[in-house]
Amino acid sequence: ACGVIAALTAQNTQTVTGVMPVPATFLKEQIDTLFDDVRIDAVKIGMLGTVEQIETVADALVRRKPRFVVLDPVMVAKGGSRLLAADALKERLLPLATIITPNLPEAMCLLGREEDVTEEEFPEVARELWKLLGRRNAWVYLKGGHLEGESAYDLLFNNVVSVPFTAPRVPTKNTHGTGCTLSSAIAAFLPQSVDVPEACRRAKEYLTGAVRHAGELDVGHGHGPTNNFWRLWKEMV
């Protein structure tokens, strides 16, 4: 894995006290330096806090043409700058994505809606998100972690195929980074899988295990991390 840092954060398991975006010029330098040397099989995009950053990443994707682009549209709907960045994200990055992985608040922000969504409305919401992508072969992975119920329900959609993913909801407070983990796992599995549904199924299974084993960790006093090394945990300890 190769990392490109878009922001420095001051945070712990309880709060985020500060965010310092990396200048777009240095963001471009990081991207170009890696692409010039390393074979990049898939790109996963997380939080981009400024319009300049979004423009820089979009330009790089157009130039470099990676095979897979996973976009996790991390945003804060109540922050003015985030909303401006969301507009640029919709215009520049959504059309370049192989798959987007919004949770319900992010989906509502992208669609300009505020109402609550039920599980029965997932196909309609996923279809509206898919229309924003502007490409027939693009995918939407709509995450249902904010829903209530005994199962964690997600929906994969591309206007032809609709694949539900369910898993038992795990009673744990250690859920920090679940969305980032899922989108990263999808990016890792895409080059290894026969198609997008298989990659998403494998990523969902991996995340479910990471959450199920999260109680084995004791980090901080708030929402601790998922156990991303759960498959190797016994060997490591």
Instruction: Single out the catalytic residue among 178, 181, 208, 226.
Output: 178
Nearest to 6 by CA among 140, 134, 225, 180: 180
> Is residue 179 flagged as an active site residue?
yes
> Is residue 180 flagged as an active site residue?
yes
Instruction: Single out the catalytic residue among 46, 177, 209, 215.
Output: 177
CB atoms within 10 A of CB 59: 14
- Determine the length of the chain: 237
Q: Would you list the DSSP string of 132-199?
A: HH--TT-EEEEE-TTS-SSEEEEEEE-SS-EEEEEEEPP--S--BTHHHHHHHHHHHHGGGSSSHHHH
Report the alpha-carbon distance of residue 42 to residue 191 in Å, rounded. Answer: 7
Instruction: Single out the catalytic residue among 46, 145, 175, 215.
Output: 175
Instruction: Single out the catalytic residue among 143, 181, 204, 224.
Output: 143
State how far the alpha carbon of 41 is from the alpha carbons of 69, 98, 102, 201, 219, in Å. Answer: 9, 13, 22, 19, 32
> Is residue 208 flagged as an active site residue?
no
> Is residue 177 flagged as an active site residue?
yes
What is the DSSP secondary structure assignment for residue 62, as one 8-state letter? H
Instruction: Single out the catalytic residue among 46, 180, 209, 215.
Output: 180
Instruction: Single out the catalytic residue among 98, 101, 144, 179.
Output: 179
State how far the alpha carbon of 38 is from the alpha carbons of 2, 21, 35, 232, in Å. Answer: 9, 25, 6, 27
Active site residues: 143, 175, 177-180
